[in-house]
Chain A
Amino acid sequence: QVQLVESGGGVVQPGRSLRLSCEASGFTFRNYGMHWVRQAPGKGLEWVADIWNDGNNKYYGDSVEGRFTISRDNSKNTLYLQMNSLRAEDTAVYYCARDDLNLGNAMDVWGQGTTVTVSS
């Protein structure tokens, strides 16, 4: 079945780095754009970044621009989020989501999320 599985979350000190992964299965990964969306404890959804299906176009939210990098390896059906210079306010559950052009670019498949805690 269509599935996204995130991994790589954990506890990290402020200023350090972390890389999240999102492994896709059950669909042709290279045909879809992908997003990272996060949710701080008790807060709403915040879009983090997205990448086109071929990896050539990337967009970022203001709060992570210059610190986070989204990338993908279509040969491995995997999406990544490299997070540098982490701050306490980056603490959140991070979800990856599939972007379906046929559904008006809605996010139609979501992973279960991976938790990132930035704390000293």
Chain B
Amino acid sequence: QSVLTQPPSVSAAPGQKVSISCSGSTSNIGNNYVSWYQQLPGTAPKLLIYDNYKRPSGIPDRFSASKSGTSATLDITGLQTGDEADYYCETWDSSLGAVLFGGGTQLAVL
């Protein structure tokens, strides 16, 4: 059971929008930056979002994120079949003194 809670799976049709939530607490999401990673099948994770909502260069603006209180959300618009992957939120937990990953969310583009 992860300290950061994500839905195990989400799905949507091509071209649609999907949102992936990440719920935590004041010791982690509430007081620290959140990052999001995409892991395509059989590959290493890739940074999608840092500092709660910022995109590294090369990440399309179809990917956006936000944070409110102790929860964070990743939004993906204009879904493509190539977006099918596992998505993970990540942050630091000040009480545990540890990096935390969410349990991951598998995205299906139907």
| Contact status B44-A111, CB under 8 Å | yes
Q: A104-B35, A104-B50 known; A47 and B44 CB under 8 Å?
A: no
A62 contacts B98, C-beta separation under 8 Å: yes
Interface SS of chain A: strand
Residues on A with C-beta less than 8 A from B46 are: 110
Q: Mark B38-82, 1 if CB is under 8 A from A, else 0.
A: 010000111100111010100000000000000000000000000
A50 contacts the other chain (CB 8 A): yes
Are B101 and A50 closer than 8 Å at their CB atoms? no
Please determine whether B47 and A106 come into contact, CB atoms closer than 8 angstroms.
yes
Q: Are B98 and A61 in contact (CB under 8 A)?
A: yes
Q: What is the bound-complex CA distance between A66 and B51, given in angstroms?
A: 31
A26 cross-chain contacts in B, Cβ below 8 A: none
Q: How far is the CA of A103 from the CA of B51 in the complex (A)?
A: 7
CA distance A105 to B2 in the complex (A): 20
Band of interface residues on B:
20 to 34
With contacts defined as CB atoms under 8 Å apart, how many contacts are there between chain A and chain B in the complex?
Answer: 68
Interface membership of A59, Cβ < 8 A: yes
Contact of A35 among B2, B37, B99 (CB under 8 A): B99
The reply to whether A45 and B56 contact each other, CB–CB distance below 8 Å, is: no
Take A103-B56, A105-B92, A108-B56 as given contacts and tell me if A47 and B100 are in contact as well, using a CB distance cutoff of 8 Å: yes
- Contacts from A to B (Cβ < 8 Å): 35, 37, 44-47, 50, 59, 61-62, 95, 97, 100, 103-108, 110-113
Residues of B within 8 A of A (CB): 2, 33, 35, 37, 39, 44-47, 50-52, 54, 56, 86, 88, 90, 92, 97-104
